[in-house]
Chain A
Amino acid sequence: QKEVEQNSGPLSVPEGAIASLNCTYSDRGSQSFFWYRQYSGKSPELIMSIYSNGDKEDGRFTAQLNKASQYVSLLIRDSQPSDSATYLCAVNALSGGYNKLIFGAGTRLAVHP
């Protein structure tokens, strides 16, 4: 069973701090990694994708990938209360002859003023 693991949280950080969200995956063949944000009562929204080892920055968000350690993370700099949401990690896996996305259960982030 190919799995994606995330700490369920909640991860509580003060406004302005860096929030660090972590994800591990089991399939060494995975090549595509995504972070989705899901506000309460809303559908998941894609915020970052990363395909190669290292860091990828987009505004206040940085995705980090380490394929050797099977680890992907999301850093949110200068966290704002509006960042409070559940963050889903998704990893591709070859299954049944096609690439499907395996989603983690999500980490709930709470940014307090």
Chain B
Amino acid sequence: GAGVSQSPSNKVTEKGKDVELRCDPISGHTALYWYRQRLGQGLEFLIYFQGNSAPDKSGLPSDRFSAERTGESVSTLTIQRTQQEDSAVYLCASSLSPGLPGHEQFFGPGTRLTVL
């Protein structure tokens, strides 16, 4: 595809429910990143994938958060037992590789999650 795509664009859920957010990276990009952005705040790194392995999960805020990736393709971020503080925009980015040069990250449009 032409760019990073994410779905759904908006998700409203009730506290305690599980949600799945999907990211489809740019074709050929081996590296994939998830970020969270709360309203009016900066980017908060969550997890990085190289291929289908996740060498850096250091940003996942709790064990309610998990992510997986199929090969060098789609990634899913799952939030279990959602809490109101999970409300944010979840952004996915991809890059050719994490090395130099060529690791500019390109962002998808994001998923706006609202937990009621």
Contact A43 B55 (CB under 8 A): no
Q: Report the Cα distance A101→B42, complex, angstroms.
A: 13
Contact A42 B43 (CB under 8 A): no
21 contacts between A and B (CB under 8 A): A32-B100, A32-B103, A42-B109, A44-B91, A46-B105, A46-B106, A51-B101, A88-B42, A90-B105, A92-B103, A96-B58, A97-B55, A98-B48, A98-B55, A99-B99, A99-B103, A100-B48, A100-B98, A101-B103, A101-B105, A106-B42
Q: Report the Cα distance A101→B106, complex, angstroms.
A: 12
Contact B42 A104 (CB under 8 A): yes
A61 interface residue (CB < 8 Å to B): no
Question: Hey, which bits of chain B sit against chain A, CB under 8 A?
Answer: 41-43, 45, 48, 50, 55-56, 58, 89, 91, 98-101, 103-110
Q: How large is the interface on A (under 10, 10 to 19, 20 to 34, 35 or more residues)?
A: 20 to 34
Q: Assuming A32-B100, A46-B105, A46-B106, is B42 touching A103 (CB within 8 A)?
A: yes
Contact B56 A43 (CB under 8 A): no
A45 interface residue (CB < 8 Å to B): yes
- A95 touches which of B42, B43, B56, B101 (Cβ 8 Å): B56
Q: Report the Cα distance A106→B98, complex, angstroms.
A: 22
Please give the distance in Å from B57's CB to the nearest CB on chain A. Answer: 10
Q: Which residues of A contact B56 (CB under 8 A)?
A: 95-96, 98, 100
Chain B residue nearest to A102 in the complex (CB): B45
Contact A103 B43 (CB under 8 A): yes
Q: Which residues of A contact B58 (CB under 8 A)?
A: 96
Chain A residue nearest to B48 in the complex (CB): A100
A1-59 contacts to B (CB < 8 Å):
31-32, 34, 36, 42-46, 49, 51
Contact A45 B107 (CB under 8 A): yes
Q: Report the Cα distance A103→B77, complex, angstroms.
A: 21
- A43 touches which of B48, B101, B108 (Cβ 8 Å): B108
Chain B residue nearest to A34 in the complex (CB): B104
